[in-house]
Amino acid sequence: MEADFLNYIKSLALQAMIFMGIASNPVTNQIEQNLKQAKLLLDTLGMLQKKTEGNLTQQEKDALNNSVYELKQKYEEIIREEEDD
Residue 44: other Cβ atoms inside 10 A = 13
Position 29 scores a pLDDT of 94
Q: Could you give the CA distance from residue 61 to residue 43 in angstroms, rounded to a whole number?
A: 16
List per-block mean pLDDT (blocks of 10 residues) for the chain, which spans 85 residues: 89 97 94 96 97 96 97 96 84
